[in-house]
Amino acid sequence: MQFVVIARDAPGALGRRKELRGEHVAGVKRMRTDGSLLYGLALLDGQGEMCGSVMVFELEDRAALDRWLEREPYRTGGVWADVEVHECRVGPMFLPPA
């Protein structure tokens, strides 16, 4: 199953985001390597500062995504204030070759 996660930062969370970035990136690199993270990007505000995240996952089910969210540093560290999860489907032309 594929999911898109849209996470918006809490007001004033940029400092916490920067503090936790190394831990966050290490985790998403592992997921990219194992194929469960297809895409990830930072949302930017009008000044070009990070203010949220969008990530696309391929996981066995929603429970697997929820387990990840329970330990994601931006979630546990109070960076993300609002997290939306939607089941989605990435078009074949956007997927890496098998």
Write the secondary structure of the chain as one string of H (helix), E (strand) and C (coil).
CEEEEEEEECCCCHHHHHHHHHHHHHHHHHHHHHCCEEEEEEEECCCCCEEEEEEEEECCCHHHHHHHHHHCHHHHCCCEEEEEEEEECCCHHHCCCC
| pLDDT, tens only, 49-85 | 999 999 999 999 999 999 999 999 999 999 999 999 9
Q: What's the pLDDT at 31?
A: 94
Task: State percent of the chain over pLDDT 90.
Answer: 92
Domain spanning 2-89, CATH class: alpha beta
The mean pLDDT of 34-62, rounded to a whole number, is 95
pLDDT of 98 above 80: no
Report the share of the chain in percent with pLDDT over 70. 97
